[in-house]
């Protein structure tokens, strides 16, 4: 591998030794102009996360009315739900990874906005299952591409000490979108007494899609994307917008030197890079593993089927929709708490706590279904579902998306993120499709008991393989992954690190 120049090595060494940006080292606050830019960047780009959440959450309520209007059978219902996930979001992730590398992070998000807009329009007017499925697949392309590009863009734009908080705002927007979907479903159900109310539920998503498309024209692309394409003046300019002068100059030196090294040894294509460099393959496998265990929490059995599960316990459709709003509220509370904790506690302990809590939640859920049918049983099942949601959103959902945006090397970052998110959505789709027939075949208690056991296994995976990324620049993490095997990755944040 090509060595860093003396200047770049000194900059990297300074970053590694301090564990945080010049701002945190000096204790000074960033200028108001820089803070305004970072806030604008975060709000606009995370509209992709909002749409991600709304389009995945809205189907739970729309299904209750869509069944009769489109004459859904159990199989076609599963197709309508899972088509957004696979092939939609799964292949959308591959599309998003490729677009993020070729068109840039900004260009990829503009494409996502168009997919969200046209997908929402098609599903809102769909006259039959075939067109509904086509619209859901198109939405899935948008969801998958946004799931790759939004955290990637935020991670590359953020200062090291704010990276954790900025990237996880995207997760907050995802759960906010899901909450808005649950709330909009209940609101429209109350005010529109029409079997076609589900069309309004789906059509509302056009509004944030237009906002995302317009807003992205006011943002630049990532400085790291510019750097690996030799556009160093653009890199310097964007860093000047998002950093104070001293911090921008130091980070520019590190990024430029790493880009020079990475492009000099780059084989010209991500697949060839992966074949040439074993350390890249190791990181990709770990990323795919993290994506798998995040979905193996079973969170989306709650997000997609909460009203159906509650209705099966004896509650009415309207009551089930209203109670499902609590799922969205708990998800938002958990995500906000998670963002707070990420700035103060290392990543690995948070993940391990999360999988412990999720396993316990599924165990309670499994045992709840053994009780005789009653109002108490219905609310206990709801409480157990909320426990699962709380632990996933506080300790796992935010952390996995953050880790995926941090761990991949610069030259293949978009491609590798796309592969990992492809795995994530494929597992999501498999679980979502299998859940109704699994419950029908085994019963609720064995099904949720199985989820509890899976999450115990996930705890051991995280314990062995997950790196600690808090307090290090993306370039510093890449240097660590190049020189260590997974069992010897750094498992502690630098001493005295602030922020995340």
Which range marks the domain in which residue 53 is found? 30-219+266-488
Q: Does residue 418 surpass a pLDDT of 70?
A: yes
Give the separation between CA 487 and CA 482, rounded to whole angstroms: 13
Q: Is the pLDDT of residue 138 over 50?
A: yes
HEC readout, the chain: CCCCCHHHHHHHHHHHHHCCCHHHHHCCCCCHHHHHHHHHHHHHHCHHHHHHHHHHHCHHHHHHHHHHHCCCCHHHHHHHHHHHHHHHHHHHHHHHHHHHHHCHHHHHHHHHHHHHHHHHHHHHHCCCHHHHHHHHHHHHHHHHHHHHHHHHHHHHHCCHHHHHHHHHHHHHHHHHHHHHHHHHHHHHHHHCCCCCHHHHHHHCCHHHHHHHHHHHCCCCCCHHHHHHCCCHHHHHHHHHHHCCHHHHHHHHHHHHHHHHHHHHHCCCCHHHHHHHCHHHHHHHHHHHHHHHHHHCCCHHHHHHHHHHHHHHCCCCHHHHHHHHHHHHHHHHHHHHHHHHHHCCCCHHHHHHHHHHHHHHHHHHHHHHCCCCCCHHHHHHHHHHHHHHHHHHHHHHHHHHHHHHHHCCCHHHHHHHHHHHHHHHHHHHHHHHHHHHHHHHHHCHHHHHHHHHHHHHHHHHHHHHHCCCCCCCCHHHHHHHHHHCCHHHCCCCCCCCCCCC
Confidence label for 36 from pLDDT (cuts 50, 70 and 90): very high
Domain count, the chain: 1
170 within some domain: yes
| Residue 400 counted as domain residue | yes
Residue 21 has pLDDT above 50, yes or no: no
Question: What is the pLDDT, as a whole number, of residue 23?
Answer: 42
350 part of a folded domain: yes
> Which CATH number covers residue 113?
1.20.1250.20
pLDDT in tens, 311-363: 776 676 677 777 778 887 888 899 899 989 988 899 999 999 999 999 999 99
**Residues 76-108: b if buried by 16+ CB within 10 A, e if exposed:** bbbbbbbbbbbbbbbbbbbbbbbbbbebbbbbb
Largest CA distance in the chain: 72
Sign of CA dihedral 181, 185, 191, 194: positive
What's residue 137's pLDDT?
96
Residue 19 confidence (pLDDT): 39
Residue 229 lies in a domain: no
Structural domain contains residue 500: no
What pLDDT was estimated at residue 498?
A: 64
Reported as a single tens digit per residue, the pLDDT across 197-229 is: 999 999 999 999 999 999 999 999 999 999 988
**From CA 54, how far away is CA 202, in angstroms rounded?**
9
Please tell me the distance from the alpha carbon of residue 496 to that of residue 500, in angstroms, as a whole number: 12
Residue 163 lies in a domain: yes
Instruction: Report the pLDDT value the prediction gives residue 500, as an integer from 0 to 100.
Output: 61
User: What backbone phi and psi angles, to 5 degrees, belong to 209?
Assistant: -65, -45
User: CB-based contacts of 482: which residues, under 8 Å, 6+ apart?
Assistant: 1, 279
- Residue with the larger pLDDT of the pair 44 and 268: 44
Answer whether 185's CB lies under 8 Å from 64's CB. Answer: no
Mean pLDDT for the chain overall: 85
Name the residue among 33, 32, 55 with its Cα closest to residue 173.
55
| 237 lies in some domain | no
Q: Tokens 């509302």 — which residue? A: 204
Other beta carbons less than 10 A from residue 196's beta carbon: 12
**Separation of alpha carbons 485 and 68, rounded Å:** 55
The answer to the question of residue 414 being in a domain is: yes
Cα separation of 394 and 354, whole Å?
7
């Amino acid at each position: 591998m090509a060595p860093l120049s003396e200047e770049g090595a000194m900059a990297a060494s300074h970053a590694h030794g301090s564990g945080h940006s010049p701002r945190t080292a000096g204790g000074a606050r960033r200028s108001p102009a820089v803070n305004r830019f970072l806030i604008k960047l975060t709000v606009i780009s995370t509209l992709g996360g909002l749409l991600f959440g709304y389009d995945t959450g809205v189907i739970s309520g729309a299904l209750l009315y869509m069944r009769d209007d489109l004459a859904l059978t159990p199989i076609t219902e599963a197709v309508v739900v899972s088509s957004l996930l696979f092939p939609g979001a799964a292949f959308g992730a591959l599309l998003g990874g490729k677009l993020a590398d070729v068109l840039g992070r900004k260009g990829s998000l503009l494409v996502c906005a168009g997919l969200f807009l046209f997908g929402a329009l098609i599903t809102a007017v769909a006259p039959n299952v075939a067109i509904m499925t086509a619209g859901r697949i198109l939405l899935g392309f948008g969801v998958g591409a946004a799931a790759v590009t939004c955290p990637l863009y935020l991670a590359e734009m953020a200062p090291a000490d704010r990276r954790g908080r900025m990237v996880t705002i995207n997760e907050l927007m995802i759960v906010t979108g899901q909450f808005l979907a649950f709330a909009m479903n209940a609101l429209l159900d109350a005010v529109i007494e029409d079997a076609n109310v589900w069309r309004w539920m789906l059509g509302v998503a056009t509004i944030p899609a237009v906002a995302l498309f317009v807003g992205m024209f006011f943002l630049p692309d990532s400085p790291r994307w510019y750097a690996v394409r030799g556009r160093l003046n653009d890199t310097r300019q964007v860093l000047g917008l998002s950093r104070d002068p001293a911090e921008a100059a130091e980070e520019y030196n590190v990024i430029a030197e790493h880009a020079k090294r990475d492009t000099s040894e780059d084989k010209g294509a991500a697949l060839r890079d992966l074949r040439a460099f074993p350390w890249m393959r190791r990181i990709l496998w770990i990323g795919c593993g993290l994506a798998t265990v995040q979905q193996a929490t079973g969170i989306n059995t709650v997000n997609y089927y909460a009203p159906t599960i509650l209705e099966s316990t004896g509650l009415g459709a309207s009551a089930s929709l209203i109670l499902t709003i609590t799922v969205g509220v708990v998800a938002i509370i958990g995500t906000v708490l998670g963002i707070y904790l990420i700035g103060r506690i290392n990543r690995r302990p948070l993940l391990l706590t999360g999988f412990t809590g999720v396993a316990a939640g599924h165990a309670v859920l499994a045992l709840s279904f053994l009780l005789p049918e009653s109002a108490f049983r219905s609310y206990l099942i709801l409480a157990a579902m909320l426990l699962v949601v709380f632990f996933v959103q506080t300790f796992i959902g935010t952390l996995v998306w953050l880790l995926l945006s941090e761990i991949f090397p610069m030259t293949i970052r978009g491609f590798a993120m796309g592969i990992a998110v492809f795995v994530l959505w494929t597992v999501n789709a498999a679980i979502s499709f299998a859940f109704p027939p699994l419950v029908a075949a085994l019963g609720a208690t064995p099904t949720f008991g199985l989820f509890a056991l899976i999450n115990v296994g996930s705890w051991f995976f995280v314990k062995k393989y997950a790196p600690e990324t808090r307090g290090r620049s993306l370039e510093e993490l890449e240097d660590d992954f190049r020189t260590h095997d997974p069992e010897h990755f750094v498992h502690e944040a630098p001493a005295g690190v602030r922020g995340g």
